[in-house]
């Protein structure tokens, strides 16, 4: 039995790889005797929840109550172990880029669990140029609800030494297969083809995956980033582990449709990334005997001027006004949908559901007093407790 554990890093085409393999998992099992679990394409949330010391801190668990989370985690264990106990496969493939963030005790617990099913594991780790990685990672944090000014460069570096040291200690350096994302994406078939070869797929299956790969293109324009950042600042997305007032959680989907120039960090920020990452990349190169990102060691290095498009920025008050206008339109539509659903619930005498729907409409559109008054009237007329 052979196992491959893909621990990322994030922002190295992991979603495209995961979705492609997941959608072809039946073919992988039948033709390649490879098990790709049915639980989810990306096992980050299940595996991190299963082995983190405090799973409540995992980003996707923030909106789940402490009472409900243990049962959900038990379900993760049951689903994965059910797959692992089946027959008909010789190779296990887990992909969960969030595992690169685990600490030593958490990795140790994960290792003990993995070795209960297989004793021959290869850890797949993909590195990326620090400037490209940090730029992409900051976009991801922005999508999660923080404004750009609250995302310092120095706290969002690749940190190869910090991520890999515990994996080396617990699994052994010989088990870690390092790849350079920036080289991979220039090769025929790109990330999916490289990953397929890493897990031992033959040319026929690899070609199939490349032809039918599911591209994940979540690139963000600079204009989109500035608008979303302004909205996150003016109307926080998460407050007390709940969606904030006047936020639907749907803003990103619509904001991502805004075209414009490619998102980039300032020249000063890019210079800071290069300076702060130099010793980390030197450690990576020395530890694994590679020579990644030699440009980081070029001296002297000075940041170039702001690009011409970078100088043509909107005024801050214009950005904030547009962000709120878009938000209000989204909220009005969302609240109206909830109100229509609430009216249908009333006709069906599902009064508790109706109160919840009207309350949700009032949360995202508090300027329309009708929603709040209707929820209050239903509570009063039907003896319902306040659910807020």
Does 236 or 315 have the greater pLDDT score?
Answer: 236
pLDDT class of 309 with cuts at 50, 70, 90: very low
Q: What pLDDT is recorded for position 356?
A: 95
pLDDT in tens, 23-82: 999 999 999 999 999 999 999 999 999 999 999 888 888 878 889 999 999 999 999 999
Q: Which of 260, 254, 13 lies closest to 132 in space, CA to CA? A: 13
pLDDT in tens, 130-163: 999 999 999 999 998 999 999 999 999 999 999 9
Least confident of 117-131, 159-173, 304-318, 320-334: 304-318
pLDDT > 90? residue 373: yes
Q: What pLDDT is recorded for position 312?
A: 53
Instruction: State the Cα–Cα distance between residues 4 and 170, nearest whole angstrom.
Output: 15
Instruction: State the Cα–Cα distance between residues 305 and 311, nearest whole angstrom.
Output: 10
From the number of C-beta atoms within 10 Å of its C-beta (0-12, 13-18, 19+), residue 72 rates as middle
Percent of the chain residues topping a pLDDT of 70:
94
pLDDT in tens, 197-226: 999 999 999 999 999 887 765 678 999 999
pTM: 0.84
């Amino acid at each position: 039995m052979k196992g491959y554990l893909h621990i990322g890093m994030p922002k190295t085409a992991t979603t495209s790889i995961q979705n492609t393999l997941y959608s072809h998992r039946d073919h992988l099992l039948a033709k390649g005797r490879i098990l790709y679990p049915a639980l989810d394409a990306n096992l980050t949330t299940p595996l991190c929840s299963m082995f983190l010391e405090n799973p409540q801190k995992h980003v996707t668990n923030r909106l789940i109550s402490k009472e409900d989370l243990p049962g959900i985690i038990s379900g993760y264990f049951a689903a994965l172990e059910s797959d692992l106990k089946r027959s008909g496969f010789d190779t296990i493939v887990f992909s969960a880029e969030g595992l690169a963030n685990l600490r030593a005790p958490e990795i140790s617990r994960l290792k003990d669990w993995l070795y209960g099913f297989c004793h021959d594991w290869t850890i797949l780790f993909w590195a990326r140029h620090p400037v490209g990685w940090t730029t992409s990672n900051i976009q991801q944090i922005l999508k999660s609800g923080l404004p750009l000014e609250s995302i310092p460069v120095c706290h969002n570096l690749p940190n190869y030494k910090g991520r890999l040291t515990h994996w080396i200690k617990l699994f052994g350096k010989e088990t870690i297969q390092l790849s350079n994302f920036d080289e991979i994406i220039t090769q025929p078939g790109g990330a999916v083809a490289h990953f397929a070869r890493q897990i031992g797929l033959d040319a026929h299956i690899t070609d199939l995956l490349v032809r039918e790969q599911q591209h994940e293109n979540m690139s963000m324009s600079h204009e989109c980033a500035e608008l979303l950042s302004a909205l996150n600042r003016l109307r926080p997305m998460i407050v007390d582990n709940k969606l904030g007032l006047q936020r639907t959680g749907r803003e990103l989907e619509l904001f991502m449709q805004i075209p414009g120039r490619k998102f980039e960090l300032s020249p000063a920020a890019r210079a800071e990334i290069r300076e702060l990452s130099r010793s980390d990349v030197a450690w990576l190169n020395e530890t694994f005997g590679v020579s990644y990102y030699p440009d980081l060691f070029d001296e002297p290095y000075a940041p170039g001027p702001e690009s011409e498009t970078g100088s043509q920025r909107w005024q801050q008050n214009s950005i904030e006004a547009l962000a709120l206008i878009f938000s209000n339109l989204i909220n009005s539509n969302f609240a109206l949908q909830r109100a229509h659903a609430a009216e249908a619930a009333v006709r069906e005498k599902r009064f508790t559901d109706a109160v919840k729907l009207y309350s949700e409409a009032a949360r995202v559109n508090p300027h329309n007093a009708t929603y709040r008054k209707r929820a209050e009237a239903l509570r009063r007329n039907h003896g319902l407790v306040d659910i807020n």
